[in-house]
Amino acid sequence: MTKKQRNRRKARRQQSVKHAQTAARHDREKTIKRRLRTRERVILPAGREWLAVEALPASGARCAAALKAAGLPVFEAREKVREEREGRPPRVAMVPVMRRVLFVGLRGWSDMRLIEECRHVWRVFSVTVQGLDWVHREHYRQALFEAEILGDRTMPFISGAAMQEFADHVIGYKRYDARTRLSHVATEMDLLALLFQPGDRVKLTGGPFASFSGVVDGHDSKADLYTVGVNMLSRIARVRCEEGQLVAA
């Protein structure tokens, strides 16, 4: 075999490797898009009322595991996002919408004691003098004791139907009718209205948090996504959304 023939064979092998890498990259992109489109519904247990709790810092997974071990169903609001990793292929990740916030299903008042006994719980969303707010575990223990003594069992429980609807919203299972929006920009003012800056108050018109209001935190130019801080249960949930899902509030 001559040197020229060897070079041709080497060039063909290199070309085949490039084609294989390109095909693998395209297959990976198709898989990511298919996984992002797939909406698997989470069916929550029936016959329960739900209460929001907040885990200690860096203890979200341990708190959920401990509550489940105690026999309580736990729902953590997560959404599918495309995650870009430097030097590694992209992937689909389940990102918490409300970090360390868990929704616990209760069958009766006695289950409240199981939450009180979980050492990974930091705060509970409860009733305070100022209204609904997060109550630290030490204060919650006292409030729970007084409630049992006095018989005042008023708590901000979430009904099973409302909780199921919230779960459907978060995972994107439920379809939405987006707000009416022009498909073209008629004037220069319409174009400027589409450019949101950090600190602007906006309203979401699509996605899991449609109809919620929030404040723009920033913009990812590479992914062309805005990050909006939405107030939920006295906490700020960071939501990534497209420009077409935002209108000025």
Residue 231 lies in a domain: yes
Distance CA 117, CA 25 (A): 49
Handedness of CA 214, 217, 219, 225 (dihedral sign): negative
For residues 159 and 195, membership in a common domain is answered with: no
Residue 98 domain-assigned (yes or no):
yes
- Report the CATH number that the domain containing residue 144 is assigned in CATH: 3.30.70
Q: Please, are residues 241 and 207 in contact by the beta-carbon 8 Å criterion?
A: yes
Pairing between β-strand 213-220 and β-strand 88-96 as defined by DSSP bridges: unpaired
For residues 120-141, give the mean pLDDT.
78
Co-location of 240 and 143 in the same domain: no
Same domain, yes or no, for 59 and 161? yes
The reply to whether 61 and 111 lie within a common domain is yes
| Band of residue 74 on the pLDDT scale cut at 50, 70, 90 | very high
Half-sphere exposure of 19 (CA within 13 A, CB side): 6
| Number of Cβ atoms within 10 Å of the Cβ of 71 | 9
Expressed as residue numbers, the domain containing 232 is: 188-248
> With the CA atoms of 88, 92, 96 and 97 taken in that order, what torsion angle do they form, in degrees rounded to the nearest 10?
120
Provide the pLDDT confidence category of residue 67 given band limits of 50, 70 and 90. very high
224-239 pLDDT tens trace: 788 899 887 777 888 8
**Residue 199 and residue 231 in one domain:** yes
DSSP state of 112: H
What pLDDT, in 10s, does the model give residues 9-27?
888 887 877 777 777 777 7
pTM, two decimal places: 0.59
